[in-house]
């Protein structure tokens, strides 16, 4: 068959799938993947932001106070009260009392330290609340030897 008589694309138009090779259809999966990754990055960013210290002001803060007694019943001296995961620290005063200000609202872990031992207490604080824990009995445990 001579080249001039061979069929052209117009002759096969009926059996060709419509728009299957269009550039818009080929880019669709790429845009969906990019959009999915964008949502994932935004989700991770928002989750990380909400967990950070920056949002403590947005969530609000409160105050935690109390008095710590040693196992012998006398006030704990030379101790320290800290909130885990923050830089908040307060000394235990000679009368055994402590006060931590600007504690982020929500569930926190308060740790009372006495030299090489500590005791962890779970607390829940609301925005603007002053949580008075009352008198806490410090339970000493043996410190591991180096």
Split at pLDDT 50, 70, 90, the class of 65 is very high
Cα–Cα dist 23/31, whole Å: 12
CB burial string 79-102: b at 16+ within 10 A, e below: bbbbbeeeebebebeeebbbebee
What's the pLDDT at 90? 93
Mean pLDDT, residues 105-131: 88
Cα–Cα dist 116/102, whole Å: 26
Contacts of 2 (CB under 8 A, 6+ apart): none
Split at pLDDT 50, 70, 90, the class of 89 is very high
Cα–Cα dist 48/80, whole Å: 29
Q: Name the more confident of 47 and 57.
A: 47
144 burial level (CB within 10 Å; 0-12, 13-18, 19+): exposed
99 pLDDT more than 90: yes
Q: Determine if the pTM surpasses 0.75.
A: no
Which of 2.60.40.10, 1.20.1050.10, 3.40.50.1100, 3.40.50.720 would CATH assign to domain 60-137? 2.60.40.10
Written as six digits, the tokens of 13 are 């138009």
Written as six digits, the tokens of 51 are 């967990």
What's the pLDDT at 19? 58
Cα–Cα dist 92/72, whole Å: 16
């Amino acid at each position: 068959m001579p080249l001039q008589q061979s069929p052209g694309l117009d002759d096969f138009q009926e059996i060709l799938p419509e728009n299957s090779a269009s550039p818009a259809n080929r880019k669709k999966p790429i845009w969906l993947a990019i959009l999915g990754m964008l949502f994932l990055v935004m989700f991770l960013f928002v989750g990380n932001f909400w967990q950070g210290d920056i949002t403590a002001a947005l969530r609000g803060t409160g105050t935690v106070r109390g008095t710590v007694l040693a196992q012998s019943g006398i006030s704990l001296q030379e101790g320290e009260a800290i909130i885990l995961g923050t830089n908040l620290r307060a000394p235990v005063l000679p009368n055994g009392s402590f006060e931590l200000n600007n504690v982020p609202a929500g569930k926190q872990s308060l740790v009372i330290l006495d030299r090489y031992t500590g005791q962890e207490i779970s607390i829940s604080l609301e925005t603007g609340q002053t949580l008075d824990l009352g008198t806490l009995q410090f339970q000493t445990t043996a410190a591991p030897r180096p």
